[in-house]
Amino acid sequence: MGKDKDKVSYQLKVPKGTKDWEGKDMVIRDKIFGNITDVFKRHGAVTIDTPVFELKEILAGKYGEDSKLIYDLADQGGELCSLRYDLTVPFARWLAMNSSIQNIKRYHIAKVYRRDQPAMTKGRMREFYQCDFDIAGTYDPMLPDAEIIRITCEIFESLGWQGRYTIKINHRKILDGIFQVCGVPTDKLRTISSAVDKLDKSPWEEVRREMTGEKGLDAEVADRIGEYVQRKGGRDLLDQLRQDEKLMANESAKAGLADMDLLFTYLKSFSVLERVSLDMSLARGLDYYTGVIYEVITEGSAPQTQEGQKLKSAGKKEAKANKHASNIDGEEDRSNDPTVGVGSVAAGGRYDNLVSMFSGKQQIPCVGISFGVDRIFSITKQRLASDASAAPIRTNEVDVFVMAFGGKGFDGLLPQRMEVAKRLWDAGIKAEFSWKVKPKLPQQFKAAEVNGVPFAVILGDDELAAGKCKIKEMGLPEGHPEKDGLLIELASLEQEVKSRIGRRGGSAELSDGVDGMSLDEAAKAAPKTG
């Protein structure tokens, strides 16, 4: 009885806003990592790694209103630390500590942490991966910025998005110029910028209400801002803004518009200008941006319906009216909330002064972008699920399942199966076999089908005695000349298998899969036995 009282009852769950990864989800995520890394390396980047937590003072004051989402850790021996909020500030700290490095193309793939309100199935989490690409150093204007936009397009095309995304782009100097021309006090520039950035989630009336009611901006000033920030377009909008005499008389706006004109020229050379939308509402809430800023959105980024937008507005009012009853701390999973979209799937911009904030003297201009892998994963998984023509996703990369078949007195040919598997492994071929001494052939085919293994090597007594075995490609259509497999010389097994794998295109891809063979086909494929 005493022992029972001492037992501790655990609630077996992961913390809110986190998840375990396994099976097909891991396959999809790893493929996304691979595609992104391939593009980064194609453009000459090297990788670094930094601690998962930083000194609290390093992160403090870098994220504007989002600073409240930083996870602070308990005092351990006199150092106050916080979990990293992103990978950009740690990179700037690293540059400041390594003054010999004046230019670098760097990428970093790692987890970051935000005490945000989760919506798990939409990739909005408290622990999530970011894939960052940054260019640090002094170069001629807008060349690194243009290459990052090109890299962004290459990544989403490699993921099969086929143009189903838009890169929203703006410039902090243009925004600051607009705010100055409209009469925003200098001490309110960043806080008004943060309000404008919410226009992708909230209607102008609500943003205007925040500016005037919560942040004390004059109503006429807010209305003048509204005439600018609700506009979007391409080169045509840029030309219109450059004809605006008030804007061109402002040094900040003039410099920003000149940058954008040059950037658009370079983007046309890179054949990606059609993917870009000049969006005057894009402000990016983080304080460290100084120049071009951008976000990548797709159809899953915004709240799902107009009704969702209305619900969101009503929910905000209700939360203000009843703070204690509402979910202020963001504990609930809002995956089924129609007011919540996936959000941007990548974002970034130019931050020329962040390194000097740490070093005090050394200023290294930087520009970069961060890809939200969990949000990309969420949209990719939804698209695969809705695509009836998509092949099944393989959960491993095994290319060959070694099988055996026999009639009366069949002993399972376990030593022979193990010997064949060893030969394949020695040749660098991914292979498996059943861990039963006398496996039934349908069970062996089922094991291969479950994991989408593309080839079977089938052993039989008579064939082995003749120095042969049968190789079969799984899932071939009826009437195919090799539907029932092909006898080959056992001595040339490795070369035959490698040749077939090469023709088929190698191991598992994101959309790879095998239709699988029905179990009643097993007997047809089996070698004949005496």
Tokens of 37: 């890394």
- Asked if residue 10 is part of any domain, the answer here is no
Let me know whether 408 and 378 are in one domain: no
* pLDDT surpasses 90 at 301: no
Tens of pLDDT along 248-293? 999 999 999 999 999 999 999 999 999 999 999 998 867 788 999 9
Let me know whether 380 and 316 are in one domain: yes
Q: State the average pLDDT over residues 507-527.
A: 38
The whole-number pLDDT of residue 65 equals 75
Total number of domains in the chain: 3
Crossing angle of helices 251-269 and 172-182, in 10° steps, is: 150
The whole-number pLDDT of residue 1 equals 52
CB 206 within 8 A of CB 313: yes
- Asked if residue 7 is part of any domain, the answer here is no
How distant is the alpha carbon of residue 176 from its chain centre?
Answer: 31
DSSP-derived 3-state class of residue 337 = coil
Tens of pLDDT along 208-257? 999 999 999 999 999 999 999 999 999 999 999 999 999 999 999 999 99
What CATH code is carried by the domain that includes residue 498? 3.40.50.800
- Asked if residue 16 is part of any domain, the answer here is no
* pTM of the entire predicted model: 0.77
Let me know whether 133 and 44 are in one domain: yes
DSSP-derived 3-state class of residue 281 = coil
End-of-domain residue from the set 386, 416, 433: 386
**DSSP structural state of residue 486:** E
Let me know whether 195 and 236 are in one domain: yes
Other C-beta atoms lying within 10 Å of the C-beta of residue 14 = 9
The whole-number pLDDT of residue 319 equals 42
- Asked if residue 350 is part of any domain, the answer here is yes
* Residue type present at position 76: Q
Let me know whether 489 and 436 are in one domain: yes
Let me know whether 73 and 139 are in one domain: yes
* Minimum mean pLDDT range among 140-154, 185-199, 321-335, 424-438: 321-335
Q: At a CB cut-off of 8 Å and minimum separation 6, what does 518 contact? A: none
Give the model's confidence band at 525: pLDDT under 50 very low, under 70 low, under 90 confident, else very high.
Answer: very low
CA-to-CA distance for 527 and 484, rounded, in angstroms? 9
- Asked if residue 465 is part of any domain, the answer here is yes
Tokens of 109: 């793939």
- Asked if residue 289 is part of any domain, the answer here is no
Which domain range does residue 108 map to?
A: 23-164+299-386
End-of-domain residue from the set 220, 248, 265: 265
DSSP-derived 3-state class of residue 437 = coil
Let me know whether 160 and 173 are in one domain: no
- Asked if residue 274 is part of any domain, the answer here is no
The whole-number pLDDT of residue 317 equals 47
Instruction: Please count the residues of the chain.
Output: 530
CA-to-CA distance for 139 and 146, rounded, in angstroms? 12
Let me know whether 139 and 186 are in one domain: no
Which one, of 206, 390, 378, 356, lies nearest residue 288 by Cα? Answer: 356
Q: At a CB cut-off of 8 Å and minimum separation 6, what does 42 contact? A: 154
Pair type for strands 46-47 and 104-113: parallel
Let me know whether 46 and 158 are in one domain: yes
- Asked if residue 216 is part of any domain, the answer here is yes
Give the model's confidence band at 466: pLDDT under 50 very low, under 70 low, under 90 confident, else very high.
Answer: very high
CB 333 within 8 A of CB 118: yes
Q: How far apart, in Å, are the Cα atoms of 319 and each of 316, 322, 411, 440?
A: 5, 5, 71, 62
Let me know whether 492 and 377 are in one domain: no
| 195 burial type by CB count under 10 A (0-12 exposed, 13-18 middle, 19+ buried) | buried
Tokens of 31: 């493929």
* pLDDT surpasses 80 at 516: no
CB 173 within 8 A of CB 350: no
Pair type for strands 276-279 and 53-55: unpaired
Which one, of 314, 359, 303, 262, lies nearest residue 122 by Cα? Answer: 303
Let me know whether 125 and 179 are in one domain: no
CA-to-CA distance for 385 and 378, rounded, in angstroms? 11
What CATH code is carried by the domain that includes residue 117? 3.30.930.10
Let me know whether 342 and 417 are in one domain: no
